[in-house]
Amino acid sequence: MKRNIMLTLRYDGTDYHGWQMQENAITVQEVLTSAAERILSQKVTINGCSRTDSGVHANMFCCNFRTDSDTSSAVLLRGLNALLPDDVAVYDVKDTDMDFHARFDCKGKEYIYKIWNSKCKNPFLRDYALHYPYKLDAEKMNLQAKDFIGTHDFNAFCAAGSTVTDTVRTVHDCSVRRDGDLVTVSVKGDGFLYNMVRIMVGTLLYINSGKIEENSIPDIIKSRDRLRAGITAKAHGLYLNEVYY
């Protein structure tokens, strides 16, 4: 293999069972691999930067694969977008170092979670933001979110049954902002556990509603007890927003 190609894409995860290829469900990795193999006329193994869950979206997703094809980046870009379904789009193709790996060389990620905070649902956001019809104090949530910042053992914010043994992660920033009826939670970190961001959002929502006391996030983190944290917010509000190398 004489080339290592990096792809940057965005996708609507509504109709996919996440990124990772599965035997009995359609995934983003599957449709992307199929399109690449048709263009290159050879088998490829595509390495993704993350494993997004069913229904989760990506504004930026990076992956790479090795090939001995001479197909130019420009031709590959046009060909992929011609073959891919309308809910997946590649917007950058480039040759990179042979030892580059989209997952292992990733230095950090930003996730955002969108909440439509209105008594009336928005049909145009039904698959793209959580509808939360109750009063939501974004300023209070933003203050509480700061307690996530730092290097902590986030076991309390990891889905039960996860096989990960090292649950220490560093959150560089966590904020909540409102733009009209749309409230967005942003989390930047060096890496994330399974369902970590969705549980963080669920915890902030529980604090907002009084189901969890204010200023209790540090104690929840120290407890390492998943039952102390909030619900796992629904997947369709979550986006992988940016990937850092």
Let me know if 97 is a catalytic residue. Answer: no
Nearest-angstrom CA–CA distance, 65 and 195: 27
Q: How far is CA 214 from the centre of its chain?
A: 27
d(CA 158, CA 225): 9
DSSP letter string, 26-86: --HHHHHHHHHHHHHTS---PEES--PPTT-EEEEEEEEEEE-----HHHHHHHHHHHS-T
Which one from 15, 53, 87, 153 is the annotated catalytic residue? 53
Neighbour count for residue 182 (Cβ, 10 Å): 15
Q: Please give the Cα distance from 57 to 47 (Å, whole number).
A: 18
Q: Using DSSP bridges, classify how beta strands 130-131 and 108-116 pair: parallel, antiparallel or unpaired.
A: parallel
Comparing CA positions, the residue from 171, 6, 147 lying closest to residue 73 is: 6
Vertex 30: Cα angle to 27 and 31 (nearest 5)? 95
Q: Which residues pair with 240 in a beta bridge?
A: 58, 111
Residues belonging to the active site: 53
